[in-house]
Structure 1
Amino acid sequence: MISSLKKTVFCISVIFVFTACKSNKKETQAVTAKPNIILFMVDDMGWQDTSVPFWNTKTALNNLYHTPNMERLASQGMKFTQAYATAVCSPTRVSLMTGMNAARHRVTNWTLKRGISAVNPPKGLAMPEWNLNGIQPTDSIERAVHVTTLPQILKAHGYFTIHSGKAHFGALGTPGENPLNLGFQVNIAGHAAGAPGSYYGTKNFKKQLDKNSVWDVPGLEKYHGKDIFLTEALTRESILAMDKAVENKKPFYLYMSYYAVHTPIQGDPRFEQKYIDRGLHPTEAKYASLIESMDKSLGDIMNHLDEKGIADNTIILFMSDNGGLSAVARGGEKHTHNKPLSSGKGSAHEGGIREPMLVKWPGVTEANSKTNDFVIIEDFFPTIIELAGINDFKTVQTIDGKSFTSILKGEKKDNNNRALFWHYPNNWGPTGPGIGASSTIRKGDWKLIYYHLDSHFELFNITEDIGETTNLATKETKKLKALATELGNYLRAVNAQMPTNTNTNQMVPWPDNETLLKAYF
């Protein structure tokens, strides 16, 4: 009897130990598994193009747009109220892929055709020989920057790397036009162009059905002729690619790079009518439907993570590549679509560079939290590498970005005295507040913009004057000089390019040029 009881106890103990070990092993695997990482990059989405308020109050624009899934993501993670990109798309995307500031990588304007600048210089300035061919996996391409890319590093450390949507990394006819040459293992619809020919599957996502155009979206032939919106097609293909990674038991990095909400402003018929019914300008109704279509995609992918049981091991980052379009192609008054911010895409003013940014790091970021800490687009490179648990990597380029993982962890970090820099020695095309060749510094409450064409300054206290309504350059001369000096020192340190003044045939002076500054004292 005693012997039998001992045997029973022994068997139960063995079963318990085996079960416990098996359970602990699962828990250990869950803790040590590399996280999946999704970066949602929206094209031309303004700081106010959402029902999520990124200011200290909800605005009329926040009440206009409907983005419930952004609200959901914000409630689950951290909202960044002072997140910045560059004023146009290619410089932002190159900074993301490389960790470099635009002044250093020199892809300072948008790219398209090899060896050809997409925009002519303005009267009075000659553009420098900027890297109009974009980023490249080799050093053999002229007027390009050879780099070690973010997905290349992730792939080398076991990640399944997926590109979906807009690429716009390298010019036509160069290796960099294809995301597969830049570290991605899957490329869904990415190529050299920065806008779609059409958002409609019925038009084969082409500008014209019977002709080929540089803008035609490649690789989505299975949806040609079908009644499907481009954003929906990209979402379906992205889900299939994520599932492939899960089936192969590999962590994945999904760069979900929407073509929306870039022109052409074409309405998603699933959402457009309700905005028309609300009395919006027809163009603005289409624009609002593009935003809601993007938000639905965000929700669909978040739902899929839940259904697959991988949401708790998936980090989500949400960002835009530049400010919302306002100078052209919109309905209503120009330069007002990002209020209270001034101006929009292409501008050094806040409307052109301040972005809606959200991050969910399950188990780390506090739900429904907010930070006012500065973040700039090149910071995503070292941050994502750190989130992936990678510390043994090398790059051919110098990294300017600073990881913001400590901010995500809720650690106190007063980084708003860190200087942020923008450099745009180019011409975007349209005109408006803050639009034009310029160099900019933001430090603390203050922001200084130096315009290359006539070497004048704008100085704003952003904390007190978020709309940049009052230029304090002639009143706060000490602050002007201090910021101009720091900006000039930085530009020289990274070997930044300056345009040439065609009236004098001289390079535009650095912002800390003594003669220029004397005019303000």
Structure 2
Amino acid sequence: MKIIGLCLTAILLLVACEPNEPSEKPPNIVLFLVDDMGWQDTSVPFAAERTPFNDRYHTPNMERLAAEGMKFTQAYAMHVCSPSRVSLMTGMNPARHRVTNWTLQKDVLQPMEQNHDSLEFPLWNVNGMSPFRGDSLAVHALPLAQALHDIGYYTVHSGKAHLGAMGTPGADPVNLGFDINIAGHAAGAPESYLGTENFGNGKTGKEVWAVPGLEKYHGKDVFLTEAITKEALSALDSVVTTPRPFFLYMSHYAVHTPIMADDRFVEQYYERGLDSTEAKYASLVEGMDKSLGDIMDYLEKNEMVDNTIILFMSDNGGLSAHGRGGELNSHNKPLASGKGSMYEGGIREPMLVKWPGQTKPGSSSSYPVIIEDFYPTILNMAGIDSIHAIQTVDGKSFIAALTGEKERADNRPLFWHYPNEWGIDGPGIGAASAVRKGDWKFIYFHASRRMELYNLAEDIGETTNLIEERREKAEELAGVLSDYLQKVNAQMPIDKNTGERVEYPIEILGNEQK
């Protein structure tokens, strides 16, 4: 049952702009989010040149969307899932909303954060989002879906939620402004992708991960990606012939682990000689792409193409530090590392946008975008001029980039902050903060106090640390990052050896100069 109290007068303070004509219907909006999809997990090239990975994967519907819309080559999310998803739904950077790691258990730190050898981690907002002010260890904000719902949108959530811990209001998307929730709950991965395995339901000890609400597909040869797509489109049937616009948040569990074969597509990858795990992974990617194509076909069939915006994004970089076939930490090349890392492989994402009448077909933009930017952008797309939500919105609308008015950002800094432990070892993985400004990226690792500086225009693979050669630039970005962390009162770990807060990077550099 939807929680009472998320009404317009209680939370929503939005000023809607006047439509061009009184009878004009606001655009439908499809936000297509993939889980753990790397920058290279597609036949659409996002690098300057095609790579072998672009030839490995078969994503014809991503190619179709790219041909009809705009490709963003420098799009970013956070490096693990819940921080990205909460930023998407609030417009806040994780340093501010404090859901800095992935959520699941209520009121407690993750097990891997409880016994770190050198750091004591802060008690971050482990409960995720909340529709109520004052909920313990949760961020209270006006959710994107609620804002759209309150101006008349029919809001559908299909797939992975992972916005609130078990037993909290934020675990159910219906409490966050969605009219319909299909298969979303607290967990961030499915126990099984297979309908023949009831998507994990009935497995003793695995109840947390079992995908809820898809009983009609239990025992059937239906892959999870297909099931949630069918249910999403079925939910839209009730509004396609009405004046009411819809917001579909198509949030796939794919391509997250467990890496399981989608039998509709996997055989071709076996035949090409791919490692068994990688063949299964490629089938997950192609199944996700099939979902995108089904949605695009549905819009064409119902003559909704001209008034529907499609945004495609991933919530973090591609998995590479474990659980994959072949050499670890190599699946996102030329980007370094992968999911969980502050390097580009952990945060740079495939992003596509089609906005009929606004985006130029087949165009590409190097405008840097970060996940919290989707919040103000989508609300602007829906006809909202000014956003006066209860939270401070860090994101900036990228509509000017979509319409071709801006090719480059105005040198604004982009921030990442992770005073946490993911639990997996790998390059760039661990408690850290980072900033990108222009072509320069500065990373600060909390445990070692190591600092790294890269020029991404010249070194996209982050192979050459310029911290000593470009000391002035390092100090500039250390100051920008430190100022921001202090401004938003970001949490920092405690050094167990000293009992003191881990220093801001500018404090380290300042002491070195003395």
TM-score (norm. length: structure 1): 0.93
- Give CA deviations for 1:282-337 in whole Å, capped at 9, x if unaligned: 00000000000000000011001000000110000000000000001000111000
Please name the residue that 2:301 is paired with. Answer: 307
Q: Secondary structure at the match of 1:483?
A: helix
SS at 1:380 equivalent: helix
Q: Match of 1:82, SS?
A: strand
Gaps of 5+ in 1: 1-26
List runs of 5+ in structure 2 lacking aligned partners.
1-19
Aligned to 2:13: none
Alignment of 1:20-169 (within 5 A): 32-121=24-113, 122-169=116-163
Q: CA deviation at 1:448?
A: 0.3
Is residue 2:420 matched to residue 1:426?
yes
- C-alpha distance 212-454 of structure 1, shift in aligned 2 (>3 A): closer
The superposition leaves residues 88-114 of structure 1 with CA deviations (integer Å, 9 ceiling, x where unpaired) of 000000000000001000000000010
Q: Tell me the residue number matched to 1:264.
A: 258
Q: Deviations over 1:96-133 (max 9, x none)?
A: 00000010000000000101222423310010111000
Indicate whether 1:466 and 2:421 are aligned: no
Report if the CA contact (8 A) 2:308-2:355 is conserved: yes
Q: Is the 8 A contact 1:141 1:174 kept in 2?
A: no
User: Which protein has the bigger helix share?
Assistant: 1
**In 2: Cα distance, 1:393 partner to 1:450 partner:** 33
> Is the 1:374–1:416 contact (alpha carbons within 8 Å) kept by the matching residues of 2?
no
1:185 paired residue number:
179
After superposition, what is the alpha-carbon deviation per residue over 1:14-69, rounded to whole angstroms, capped at 9, x for unaligned? Answer: xxxxxxxxxxxxx9678x21000000000000000000000100000000000000
- Amino acid aligned to 2:45: P
Whole-Å separation in 2 of the counterparts to 1:212 and 1:368 = 44
Q: How far apart in 1 are the matches of 2:61 and 2:160?
A: 21
CA distance in 1, matches of 2:238, 2:314: 27
Alignment of 1:190-201 (within 5 A): 190-201=184-195
- Alpha-carbon separation, structure 2, partners of 1:414 and 1:313: 27
The Cα of 1:414 is off from its aligned counterpart by: 3.3
Give the one of 399, 402, 420 matched to 2:393.
399
Distance 1:489 1:511 in 2: 10
* Partner residue, 2:6: none
Q: Which amino acid aligns with 2:49?
A: T
RMSD, aligned CA: 1.5
Residues 119, 449 of structure 1: CA spacing in aligned structure 2 closer, same or farther, 3 A cutoff?
A: farther
Structure-1 separation of matches of 2:405 and 2:106: 45
> Could you tell me how far apart the structure 2 residues matched to 1:517 and 1:280 are?
51
Residue 212 of structure 1: CA displacement? 5.2
Structure 1 distance, partners of 2:391, 2:374, is 15
Whichever residue aligns with residue 347 of structure 2, its letter is I
| Aligned partner (choices 443, 449, 452) of residue 449 of structure 1 | 443
Q: 8 Å contact 2:275–2:326 — kept in the other structure?
A: yes
Task: Indicate if the aligned counterparts of 2:43 and 2:54 stay in contact, CA closer than 8 A.
Answer: yes
C-alpha contact 1:416 1:443 (8 A) present in aligned 2: no
User: Superposition pairs for residues 210-289 of structure 1, below 5 Å?
Assistant: 213-289=207-283
Distance in 1, matches of 2:197 and 2:53, equals: 31
Structural mapping, 1:456-495, within 5 Å: 456-495=450-489
Task: Describe the superposition over 1:111-157 as per-residue Cα deviations: whole angstroms up to 9, x where unpaired.
Answer: 00101222423310010111000010002321111111101010000
- Measured after TM superposition, the shift of residue 413 of structure 1 is 5.1
* 1:40–1:257 Cα contact (<8 Å) kept: yes
Question: CA, structure 1 residues 422+210, in 2 after alignment: closer, same or farther (shift >3 Å)?
Answer: closer
Task: Tell me, yes or no, if the aligned pair for 1:153 and 1:393 is still in contact at 8 Å.
Answer: no
Distance 1:182 1:134 in 2: 12
For the Cα contact (< 8 Å) 1:324–1:337, is it kept in 2? yes
| Contact 1:171/1:177, CA 8 A, preserved across alignment | yes
Alignment of 1:285-296 (within 5 A): 285-296=279-290
Once residues 21 and 413 of structure 2 are traced to their aligned partners in structure 1, the CA distance between those partners, rounded to angstroms, is 41
Which position in structure 2 is the counterpart of 1:3?
none
Q: Based on CA coordinates, which of the two structures has the bigger radius of gyration?
A: 1
Sequence identity, in percent? 60
SS of 2:237's equivalent? helix
Work out whether residues 374 and 415 of structure 1, in 8 Å CA contact, stay in contact via their aligned partners in 2: yes
Residue matched to 2:7: none
The offset of 1:518, in angstroms, is 4.8
Corresponding residue pairs, total: 493
